[in-house]
Amino acid sequence: MLKIVTISITLLLTIFILSLIICIVTQTNLHILLTSIASEEIRFAIKLSLLTSVISTLMCIMVSIPASYALARYNFPGKTLINTIVDLPLALPPLVAGVGLLLLFGTTSFGNWLADAGLEFIFTPLGIIIAQFAVNISFMLRILRSTFEGISPRYEYVAQTLGCTPAQAFFRTTLPMSKNGLMAGGIITWSKGIGEFGAALMVAGATRMKTETLPISLYLNMSCGDLDMAIAAATILIIISFISLYIFERRGGIFHLY
Amino acid sequence: MIRIENVSKDLGEFKLDDVSLHVNEGEYFIILGPTGAGKTILIETIAGIYRPDCGRIFLNGIDVMDLPPKDRSISMVYQDYMLFPHLTVEKNIGFGLRYQNITSSETEAEVNEIADLLGVSHLLNRYPGTLSGGEQQRIAIARAVVTKPKVLLLDEPLSALDNRTTERLREELGKIHRLTETTTIHVTHSFEEAFSLGDRIAVMRDGQIIQVGAPDYVFRKPNSEFIADFVGVENLFRGKSVVHDGISEVHADGICMLSSTLKSGDVSISVRPEDIFISKKEIDSSARNSFSGNIMEVKDMGALVRLVVDVGIPFVVALTKRSYEDLELAYGTRVHIAFKASATHLF
């Protein structure tokens, strides 16, 4: 009985999820889909999405490697509090993070100073990158922190006695041994970056052919009733999700996100 | 060679408490102690992984407190091997050679030579994850000694292995030490390892060194109840063994014992006190080892009585109080003792 009930609920859930996807991809036919994808606007959105998500993912990796290493390996005052704070974006609604970014870069002297230096974040593609970074950094940090925690520091000790400086020991042992964690974290961060909407909308706005990523394109075209274009953007996002989920499962099924 | 002066280090869970030690050039030095005694931090501190809270460490008379691990010429082997899983066996062994000024063909030659010595040549292209514990530990040892360190630190190198592998590797550690004459500090909780390998032993407990001395001395004259309990073995002798007619003849301190364990060369032999028969009359039994001497010590342990009989070397004999009284034994009584060749433990 228990078996039948639980399996039935699982099946219903599967059908529910599948029907969402089927509804989207059957909304249009292949010809219209391909034409829409080939349109200048969607091609721009694809390019902008790829560019921003790749850059923000690289930024997440560059910051997460040292930060998660410090959190995994060292004890320092305030570590518990810092651990909680750096995890905060996981629970924070992206819209709220976006408002924070808008205020930080748009109203403070720090923001003005950056803008004067040529780094203008408000209503620009740079804003999209910083929004993706702010929302996704905690995911990367969590995955890498648990990866580093799972690797005994003694590998580095041995490497140090064999002639490495502490930094060389890290780059020659712990880092290459973290390959799976890095891949899994990179893929999940990248695919979340591609789909990032709320925070990016707040900071960079939704300007056609300027800050128009795939999710922004979906939103813009839905609001003005251009269903074909909206479906094209949605279909591409679905394909990206499938691919990244597949790679994530293959590479990092062993890592716990939460 | 290595001088440690009043070193303390507190890592919370483990600590070193005012440790002073002196290890001689070329010595095989054992640090013996139970889990949690601080043995691992001690050797990690010697390697330079931790900086002592206070105290000093000298290598060949030079203060190494400010020397990073890479410049100390010290290699380390851990209980769980710590082979780099992303590198082949060959790359693992050659890891440290990369930082020495030698050509790649010299590196290859050195790796091959040490791999030969440790019998792992056929594994060079494999990855560590696919190897047995014994194979992994041989490779870890090869990786540590290939750089020709001045000091080799071994942290429970045999504890994760099965009995047979442990025995073989123990002999090989001895062989490597004789061959390279590298000053070695070997951490263990096994008295057998300590007794068979150590030139000297330091016994450690709660972050402190509580006795240092030659193995015989520490085992015969434990300076505390703790060491006596921890060592837990009496009637332990070192000697030379010759095998003939399917039996080992062990000569130790002028007496000859027979053992059914076949092993020749330098050996350690032990007999449990409760496996020794004692009598005032000559013992006529199947026991192949028979000696006579006087009772030198009588200790009442409650239900048991513990005697020390001097037959040229002191044997501890345990018997029940009832038998002790029935046999009418006392201090100074001349007695005969005997034990079976199969009751001995040879290693």
B11, B51, B99: best mutation site toward chain A, by most A Cβ within 10 Å?
B99
pLDDT at B122 over 90: yes
In the three-class reduction of DSSP (H, G, I as helix; E, B as strand; rest coil), residue B208 is classed as strand
In the three-class reduction of DSSP (H, G, I as helix; E, B as strand; rest coil), residue B283 is classed as coil
Helices within chain A (DSSP H only): 2-25, 30-38, 40-73, 79-91, 94-107, 109-116, 125-149, 154-161, 166-169, 175-177, 179-195, 198-204, 214-223, 227-252
pLDDT tens profile B166-191: 888 988 899 999 999 999 999 998 88
- B237-346 is a CATH 2.40.50.100 domain: yes
CB spacing of B68 vs A157 below 8 angstroms? no
CB spacing of B84 vs A154 below 8 angstroms? no
CB spacing of B84 vs A173 below 8 angstroms? yes
Q: Which of A155, A161, A172 sits opposite B75 (nearest CB)?
A: A161
Alpha carbon of A229 to those of A219, A232, A239, A242, B93: distances in Å? 10, 5, 16, 20, 59
pLDDT tens profile A159-194: 999 999 999 999 999 999 999 889 889 988 999 999
CA closest to B44 among chain A residues: A157
- B123 DSSP 8-state letter: G
pLDDT tens profile A195-221: 999 999 999 999 999 999 999 999 999
> Average pLDDT of chain B?
89
Percent of chain B whose pLDDT exceeds 90:
49
Scanning A175-214 for CB atoms below 8 A from B yields 176-177, 179
Fold of B2-231: Rossmann fold (3.40.50)
B70 and chain A: CB distance < 8 Å anywhere? Answer: yes
CB spacing of B70 vs A152 below 8 angstroms? no
Q: How far apart are the first and last CA of chain A?
A: 32
Structure confidence at residue B286 (pLDDT): 67
Structure confidence at residue B227 (pLDDT): 78
CA distance A178 to B272: 51
Beta strands at B334-339 and B289-300: parallel, antiparallel or unpaired: antiparallel
B40 and chain A: CB distance < 8 Å anywhere? Answer: no
Give the model's confidence band at B140: pLDDT under 50 very low, under 70 low, under 90 confident, else very high.
very high
Alpha carbon of A233 to those of A123, A178, A253, B116: distances in Å? 21, 34, 28, 62
Residue A22 backbone phi and psi in degrees, to 5: -60, -40
CA distance A128 to A211: 8
Q: Identify residue A215 by its one-letter amino acid code.
A: P
Give the model's confidence band at B285: pLDDT under 50 very low, under 70 low, under 90 confident, else very high.
low
Q: Which of the residue ranges B32-41, B194-203, B281-290 would you say has the lowest mean pLDDT?
A: B281-290
- A172 DSSP 8-state letter: I
Chain B residues within 8 A of A150 when measuring between CB atoms: none
Is residue B75 a contact partner of residue B151, using CB atoms and an 8 Å limit? yes
Is residue A186 a contact partner of residue A144, using CB atoms and an 8 Å limit? no
Give the model's confidence band at A252: pLDDT under 50 very low, under 70 low, under 90 confident, else very high.
low
Give the model's confidence band at A3: pLDDT under 50 very low, under 70 low, under 90 confident, else very high.
very high
Structure confidence at residue A8 (pLDDT): 96
| Rounded average pLDDT over A62-88 | 94
In the three-class reduction of DSSP (H, G, I as helix; E, B as strand; rest coil), residue A63 is classed as helix
Give Cα A124 distance to the centre of its chain.
19
Residue B46 tokens, joined: 């010697």
- B245 DSSP 8-state letter: T
Give Cα A75 distance to the centre of its chain.
28
B77, B82, B92: best mutation site toward chain A, by most A Cβ within 10 Å?
B82
Closest to B125 (Cα-Cα) out of B139, B137, B146, B113: B139
Residues 6+ apart with CB under 8 A from B73: B59, B147, B149, B150, B151
pLDDT tens profile A93-125: 999 999 999 999 988 999 899 989 989 899 999
User: Which of 3.50.30.30, 3.40.50.360, 1.10.3720.10, 1.10.8.60 would CATH assign to domain A31-252?
Assistant: 1.10.3720.10
For chain A, the maximum distance between any two Cα atoms, rounded to a whole number of angstroms, is: 68
In the three-class reduction of DSSP (H, G, I as helix; E, B as strand; rest coil), residue B310 is classed as strand
User: pTM here?
Assistant: 0.81
CB spacing of B99 vs A164 below 8 angstroms? yes
Helix axes B133-145, B104-117, angle to 10 degrees: 130
CB spacing of A154 vs B96 below 8 angstroms? no
The structural domains of chain B, with segments of one domain joined by +, span 2-231, 237-346
pLDDT at B287 over 90: no
Is residue B184 a contact partner of residue B339, using CB atoms and an 8 Å limit? no
Residue B7 tokens, joined: 């070193």
